Amino acid sequence: MNTTTARVRPGLIRLLFRGLFRRCAWCGGKGAFFNGWFKRDERCHTCGLLWQRRLEGFELGAMTMNVLVSYGTLLVGMGVGVFLTYPDVAVVPLLAVVGSLAIILPIFMYPISYAMWLGVDIFMRDLEPAELADAAAAVAAKTQ
């Protein structure tokens, strides 16, 4: 029995947590699409799922996920900083910390946001039989 075609779609929380840890949203394979922090493969190493299910809109969704997570973290960080130093808000140190995070966080979130977006994409549009068959064929070709 092929494990790729026998799976039931996981719930949204599981899909997002798999992405958060850079795992394949579909099978949970560790480091599924990544050979390094910025280098990724076309298919999951475990189940053979294609990285970009459909070309139109996938990159935009992944970048949007990166922006939402990064800006959300910056907003919370600013709010906490203002709350902790109120009424004498330490503007310069707060801007230095938030400015540094604004540069570092999107770079750190790059592979995580893409993997999380794949999970959202799978949740919104379930895998089609052709995608599952293609993934199974890729795994079979890799094992031969």
Give residue-wise pLDDT tens across range 104-122.
998 888 888 888 998 999 9
For residue 5, the model assigns a pLDDT of 47
Residues 130 and 122: their CA atoms lie apart, in Å, by 14
96-101, Cβ contacts within 8 angstroms, sequence gap of 24 or more: 98/74, 101/73, 101/74, 101/77
pLDDT for residue 4 is more than 70 = no
Q: Can you give the pLDDT at residue 7?
A: 64
- Give Cα separations from 58 to 26, 42, 62 (angstroms): 16, 14, 6
Predicted confidence at residue 34, as pLDDT, reads 80
pLDDT digit string (tens) for 24-79? 988 988 877 888 888 888 888 888 888 877 767 788 888 998 998 888 989 998 99
69 compared with 2, residue with greater pLDDT? 69
